[in-house]
Amino acid sequence: MPEGGRRVLEVLGLEIVFHTRDGEIHAVNDVSFSLAPGEVLGVVGESGSGKSVTMMSLIGLLPSPPARVCRGQVLLDGENLLMVSPARMRQVRGGEVGFVFQDPMTSLNPVFTVGYQLAEPLRRHMGMTKRAARARSIELLELVGIPDAAARLRDYPHQFSGGMRQRVMIAIALACEPKVLIADEPTTALDVTIQAQILELLQDLRAQLGMAIIWITHDLGVIAGIADRVMVMYGGQVVEQAPVREVFGNPQHPYTRALLKTVPSVTGARAARLEVIEGQPPILTSAPSACSFRDRCADRAAQCDRENPVLRAIGGGHDVACHQSYGGCPA
């Protein structure tokens, strides 16, 4: 985590439990991170590690029940979003924080035209007139590479292909020039050219507006290309976070190392994707009391069975949660 400077978003000690018929699932355990304006945070970790749940909780998108945020703070420019009224949250969502989730519940509404879904936040959050909102909607669709944009405003989501719908969602997320964009696997359905185009567009917006971006992906090539910092999640915890070059050049956590090993070349022309790492993901029925990676770890020591390692700074904005990786350079 970089020292000093303003933070647009600060997440502190987040804990989320799902109450299911089969018992509790501790999906997110003591997760903390922060974002500076204009910063891009890449989030990686295997399926079920808590990436989506963490990010959905920031803007009140988790179904509750079964989810319960038991502890923590989510500070958007100092305002704790876990304490705000539903009305204020609606203002934040789509206004100050834009989001693209793959969950169909949070994506496009099938009963409204794309034009309406673009113009509505512009009118609501930005106070635009109908005419101005229409003009801006066309611009936004053009920005994300949708041909014949003016005519397509009248179309419904089902009239767009999967890739086009994804671009429409990105256009909506960007419409109100949010301070923070949360993008959960937003480009996986897109072909490589469009993906590059959208990444470029986001880089521009980040430069122009100082928009910070949280980018969840399994694609380490994209992370290498776009992120300033990388947060690695495992079993509902942050196990490592560091500037992007540190993560690729000096990974400390055995899980991060395993991830990187599964990828032939992160800077290669072909998209590098995370492969499966041997062993089972941890069972999250209680808060961790030992290292959750220990069963899959080659460096397992006695301490790893007794104590869950906390995230500790090892210098250079590099944090790691591993008993074996603090060697020599304390915070």
Ligand X SMILES: Nc1ncnc2c1ncn2[C@@H]1O[C@H](COP(=O)(O)OP(=O)(O)OP(=O)(O)O)[C@@H](O)[C@H]1O
Q: Is 144 in the site for ligand X (CB under 6 A)?
A: no
Q: Is 18 in the site for ligand X (CB under 6 A)?
A: yes
Q: How far is the CB of 45 from ligand X (least distance, A)?
A: 6
34 binds, among ligand X, Mg ion, none (CB under 5 to 8 A by kind): none
**Residue 90 corresponds to which tokens in the numbers above?**
């609606």
Q: How far is the CB of 185 from ligand X (least distance, A)?
A: 7
Task: Indicate which single residue of 17, 40, 44, 49 sits in contact with ligand X (rule: CB under 6 A).
Answer: 49
Distance CA 170, CA 100 (A): 6
Residue with Cβ nearer ligand X (57 or 325): 57
SS3 string of 116-151?
Answer: HHHHHHHHHHHCCCHHHHHHHHHHHHHHCCCCCHHH
Q: Is 166 helix (H, G, I), strand (E, B) or coil?
A: helix
DSSP one-letter string for 70-123: EEEEEEETTEETTSS-HHHHHHHBTTTEEEE-S-GGGS--TTS-HHHHHHHHHH
Q: Is 50 in the site for ligand X (CB under 6 A)?
A: yes
Q: Which parts of this chain interact with Mg ion (CB under 5 A)?
A: 51-52
Residue with Cβ nearer ligand X (41 or 143): 41
Specify the DSSP class assigned to residue 24.
Answer: E
Task: Indicate which single residue of 42, 45, 288, 309 sits in contact with ligand X (rule: CB under 6 A).
Answer: 45
Task: Indicate which single residue of 7, 51, 125, 206 sits in contact with ligand X (rule: CB under 6 A).
Answer: 51
243 binds, among Mg ion, ligand X, none (CB under 5 to 8 A by kind): none
Q: Is the dihedral of CA 149, 151, 153, 158 positive or negative?
A: negative
Q: Is 268 in the site for ligand X (CB under 6 A)?
A: no
Q: How far is the CB of 98 from Mg ion (least distance, A)?
A: 17
| Closest listed residue to residue 170, CA positions, set 140, 193, 149 | 140
Vertex 134: Cα angle to 132 and 138 (nearest 5): 115
Q: Is 248 in the site for ligand X (CB under 6 A)?
A: no
Task: Indicate which single residue of 25, 36, 143, 175 sits in contact with ligand X (rule: CB under 6 A).
Answer: 25
Q: Residue 18, Cβ neighbours under 10 Å: how many? A: 20
Residue with Cβ nearer ligand X (118 or 263): 263
63-82 binders of ligand X (CB under 6 A) = 66
Q: Which positions ≥6 away from 85 have C-beta within 8 Å?
A: none
Residue with Cβ nearer Mg ion (26 or 51): 51
165-224 binders of ligand X (CB under 6 A) = none
Distance CA 79, CA 232 (A): 26
Task: Indicate which single residue of 27, 144, 230, 297 sits in contact with ligand X (rule: CB under 6 A).
Answer: 27
Q: How far is the CB of 272 from ligand X (least distance, A)?
A: 16
270-289 binders of ligand X (CB under 6 A) = none
- For the chain, percent helix, then strand, then coil, each to nearest 5? 35, 25, 40
Q: Is 47 in the site for ligand X (CB under 6 A)?
A: yes
Place of tokens 């018929």: 21
Residue with Cβ nearer Mg ion (269 or 276): 276
Contacting residues toward ligand X, per CB under 6 A:
18, 20, 25, 27, 45, 47-53, 66
